Amino acid sequence: MWTRRVRSFSNLQAKLGYLFNYAGRKQLLVNAMKTYLMIFNSLPTRPLTLYLGDTQLTYVREVTYVGVPLASDKANICVPLYKVTRDKANRAAWAITGADSVLKGMPPAAARLLYTARVDALLTAAADIVPDMDRNIEMLEKVQVSFLQRILGLSSQSMKLPLFTELGLMPLRY
């Protein structure tokens, strides 16, 4: 991801031209078809046309970079990641609790093992690069807490602390 603060579009076009020429001198191939422009906040009313070599670059609002979906039109650029992660973890949690209902009483140790292997791995995906200081992490915490309540056979109104102490797990925020 090439992030640069540029004061004008002509400067940006000059930098793109320099990048293309430099890559050519060093025998590197810059794939203009896989290069996108992402402007944070709002797009200009008349977006200017920028080129990398002879190929016109396209403006995007959402893009997936190294498996992490990002959005430029949201206050937090990682909102799409939270939603994708929540949906995947929710499906894994429901699959495990569905297996629990078929097996009629899965032991908590086995449920904990399945949780750490599937659900927790999904909930903590890209956690090292995504800030968790806003309200979006609450979506992921709801998946974690509801799964633990279902596995232990507790109601949705139960206290949260026993869920983690009973299974020896850490809450997502910590």
The model's pTM: 0.71
The whole-number pLDDT of residue 93 equals 93
Residue 81 tokens read as 């990641």
How far is the C-alpha of 33 from the C-alpha of 57, rounded, in Å? 8
Q: Strand, coil or helix: what is 73?
A: coil
If you ran DSSP here, which 8-state letter would residue 160 be given? S
The pLDDT of residue 144 is: 92
What residues are paired with 37 via a beta bridge? 59
pLDDT tens figures, 26-54: 999 888 888 888 887 766 777 788 888 88
